[in-house]
Structure 1
Amino acid sequence: MDAEATFHLYSYYCSSCCQRIIIAAHLKGIPLEFSYIDLGQKEHRTDEYKTMLNPSASVPTLVITPHNGGEKTIIRQSMTILEYLDESFPNRAPLLPSVSAMLDRVQVRDLANIIAIDTQPTTNSRIAQRVKAIRGSLDDQVAFVKQAFTDGFQAYENLLVKQAQGGSYSFGNTVSLADVVLVPAVDQALMYRMDLDFVPNVKRVYFALKGLEAFKAADWRNQGDTPEKFRVKDF
């Protein structure tokens, strides 16, 4: 991997998928450059953005440019970006246990995918808005999203208990891919004013992680494009 390459992230302040990338980059000491895509203003749906960067009309999009000016690499899915960063910088805060600990790697991936595959796709704003549009009801949207979070977090909680690692985080005492994916999802759930008391271990892990610098740096309330009304000055 070209250690002098530039990493340019197209991001939106309250995107949980973008937050994953910012967390991982901070953990690994990878500096990011930013372009902010205002989803509220439909900037992700412009022909230029879809044609040049991301035909899915979504964020994040990560553009890696070699320092020698070679061909750029563009990655458009958050989980693919996380895998790329972990494989490119395996000795910097690895997000998965060692290859020699295959069962541990599987367990971390299972946790991560409860959120990334089962939960986040049904709770993102694109789907939530479609639910709302069926009957023009915000209550429908809120109930749908809260149920999706409830199902996902209960599954995560059950797996945490079964794995019984007894550590501070999702899998022992080392921050893993599961943690990188979990925290942005909980942040999103809290935007819906959800009470986490029904998943005490998820709640415990979440607050332990929110005290770490990488997670503070990625907090949606303190990004370059966060509206002033949402900003929190002290973490």
Structure 2
Amino acid sequence: MGKSSEIKLIGTDASHFASRVKFVLNLKSIEYEYIVENLACKSELLLTLNPVYQRVPVLVHANNPPILESLVIIEYLDEMYPDVHPILPSDPLDRANNRFWASYIDNMFIPLFEDLRKTLDKEGNDVVKKQISERTQLLEEAFVKLSKGKAYFGGDDAGYLDIVLGCFLGWVKFVEIYNQLKVIDEVRTPKLQEWANRIWSHEALKDVIPGNETLMNFYMMLQVHKPPRVI
């Protein structure tokens, strides 16, 4: 195993995918060098290390080939550093359920927020908001089941799904502010609201979830480089 000082993370501050890796590195007390990438003008380093997707995060560990994609990186770090704050549950069925819901979050929940950005008409906008509300309710039910009455998806402390969903809370709050939408609240999703409050105050997540100004700058970059289709 390489030394922790040999780890480099390439990311951008507004990326919840990069935030996931930062969260895990903090939970495991792993030192690393953080290299900020400008996705509006991608560096030669990023294009060389991730020529297929050309996106962050990218983890470089010593002289090994780069590790790509946030969920892959999380599991890699968990296997390389298993003795400090295990991320995935030890039970195979619990691991399978965690991976299922991580896939749900990445493929069924988070993309709706990009759909909301791209949907300009009110009727279509309302449809997307309804879908966000319904899928958040499913996450509430998943939390109740998977947490087994404890504080986090992972039990007594943050685990795999806390990382996967928790690092998206900055964007959730951003969308709530600018779209007159309440995604997580104490009425519809009371357990998820309590969980979100705990995640926000987690010591290992301090300075990891980007602030509103960082997200607004990234959002404006998206509007320029990936504008919503008008027709």
Deviations 1:139-198 (A, max 9, x none): 689657645543432221122233461101124213210000111222211111142122
5 Å-filtered alignment, 1:189-200, equals 189-193=172-176, 194-195=181-182, 196-197=184-185, 198-200=188-190
TM-score by length of 2: 0.77
1:58 aligned counterpart, secondary structure = coil
1:91 aligned counterpart, secondary structure = coil
Matching residue of 2:109:
119
Alpha-carbon RMSD? 3.0
1:167 aligned counterpart, secondary structure = coil
Separation (CA, whole Å) in 2 of partners of 1:138 and 1:86 = 44
Matching residue of 1:214:
204
Report if aligned partners of 1:13, 1:226 keep a CA contact under 8 Å in 2. Answer: yes
Matching residue of 2:55:
58
Flag structure 2 segments of 5+ consecutive residues without an equivalent. Answer: 219-231
Flag structure 1 segments of 5+ consecutive residues without an equivalent. Answer: 66-70, 231-235
Matching residue of 1:12:
12
Separation (CA, whole Å) in 1 of partners of 2:126 and 2:33 = 37
5 Å-filtered alignment, 1:140-219, equals 146-147=129-130, 149-163=132-146, 165-193=148-176, 194-195=181-182, 196-197=184-185, 198-219=188-209
Separation (CA, whole Å) in 2 of partners of 1:63 and 1:73 = 7
Greater shift after overlay, 77-86 or 1-10? 1-10
Identical-residue share of aligned pairs (%): 27
Report if aligned partners of 1:114, 1:152 keep a CA contact under 8 Å in 2. Answer: no
Separation (CA, whole Å) in 1 of partners of 2:156 and 2:169 = 20
Letter in 2 for 1:207: N
**Count of residues in correspondence between the two structures:** 210
Report if aligned partners of 1:50, 1:57 keep a CA contact under 8 Å in 2. Answer: yes
TM-score by length of 1: 0.76
The answer to whether structure 1 residue 97 and structure 2 residue 89 are counterparts is yes
